[in-house]
């Protein structure tokens, strides 16, 4: 049987040789999942792996190094806003940058003397944003919309696992939903596909093609959904007091100026840009809308 200390040393070198960042953390996360032991036990007690565990680990390492399978898909779970979300290919993996602004948004809404928000999440994917907002505001009603049948199935699976009652996931084209719904919302959020087609090759070269292309790429140099949603969202908004954002878009870090201009042209005012922890533009949001 192999010991955890020697395996960690060997795998960290192999991961670093192929350019995987945070190599030791990734190795430890894999071993935690495999053995059920925590990192202290793996590093100090030197856990012995069985032959079957070693074979499983080698398969995971092959998937990670050779096939460039994202670690999150191997682990099957991603932490997000205090939740453990199930993830699987090809549904978009929730990013730390998304978690960051989602937590910020929850903080902003927590300052408002209101608890029963109506919230719409467009391009909901795994349901991470909708579920985080629903958990944070249990008296609110949240709807998550995505065109992808697999994404909606995963979002509903996460909803069931987390036992979140005040959210509904709808399979529909987001633009069509906006045009057809009679519902009104205090807040609309979206992390839509925003890569230009030319950017996809660079991403696939680094991370592989595990995530669905249509969850990443949008027409019009990545601006399609910002143009469509900015035009349609005003029709579903409740009159806003201006105390909190009514429309929030996650963006590519070079898109802030263009997205803000799109929103301005559709009548949104008080348009703001917020950067992430790395100093990159991450969301564009508006406080008021001239309905």
**Which DSSP string corresponds to the chain?**
-EEHHHHHHHHHHHHHHTT-SSHHHHHHHHHHHHH---HHIIIII-PEEPHHHHHHHHHHHHHHHTS---HHHHH-EEEETTEEEE--TTSPPPPHHHHHHHHHHHHHHHTSS----EEEEES-TTSHHHHHHHHH-TTSEEEEEES-HHHHHHHHHHHHHHT--SEEEEES-HHHHHHH----BSEEEE----B-HHHHHHHHHHH-S-S-GGGTB-HHHHTHHHHHHHHHGGGGBPPP-SSS-SEEEE--TT-HHHHHHHHHHTTEEEEEEEE-TTS-EEEEEEEEE--
Average pLDDT, integer, range 147-161: 98
- Give the pLDDT band (50/70/90) at residue 240: low
pLDDT recorded at residue 201: 78
Res. 287: pLDDT tops 90: no
Architecture of domain 77-289: 3-Layer(aba) Sandwich (3.40)
pLDDT, the chain, mean: 93
Average pLDDT, integer, range 230-256: 89
- Give the pLDDT band (50/70/90) at residue 118: very high
The pTM (predicted TM-score) of the whole model is 0.93
């Amino acid at each position: 049987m192999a010991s955890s200390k020697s395996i960690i040393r060997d795998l960290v070198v192999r991961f670093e040789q192929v350019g995987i960042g945070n190599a030791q953390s990734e190795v430890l996360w894999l071993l935690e999942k495999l053995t059920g032991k925590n990192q202290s036990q793996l590093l100090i007690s030197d856990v012995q792996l069985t032959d079957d565990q070693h074979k499983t680990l080698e398969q995971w390492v092959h998937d990670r190094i050779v096939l460039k399978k994202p670690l999150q898909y191997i682990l099957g779970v991603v932490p997000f806003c205090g939740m453990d979300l199930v993830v699987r290919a090809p549904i978009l993996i929730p990013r730390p940058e998304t978690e960051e602004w989602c937590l910020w948004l929850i903080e902003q809404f927590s300052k408002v003397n209101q608890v029963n928000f109506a919230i719409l999440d467009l391009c909901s994917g795994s349901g991470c944003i909708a579920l985080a907002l629903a958990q944070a505001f249990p008296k609110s009603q949240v709807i998550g919309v995505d065109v992808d049948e697999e994404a909606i199935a995963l979002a509903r699976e996460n909803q069931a696992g987390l036992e979140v009652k005040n959210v509904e996931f709808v399979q529909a084209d987001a633009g069509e939903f906006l045009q057809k719904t009679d519902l009104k919302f205090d807040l609309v959020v979206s992390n839509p596909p925003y890569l230009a087609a030319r950017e996809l090759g660079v991403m696939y070269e680094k991370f592989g093609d595990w995530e669905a292309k249509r969850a990443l790429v949008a027409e019009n140099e990545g601006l399609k959904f910002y143009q469509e949603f900015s035009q349609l969202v005003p029709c579903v908004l409740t009159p806003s007091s201006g105390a909190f954002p009514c429309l929030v878009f996650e963006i590519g870090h070079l898109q802030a100026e263009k997205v803000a201009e799109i929103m301005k042209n559709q009548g949104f005012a008080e348009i703001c840009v917020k950067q992430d922890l790395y100093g990159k533009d991450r969301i564009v949001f508006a406080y008021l809308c001239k309905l």
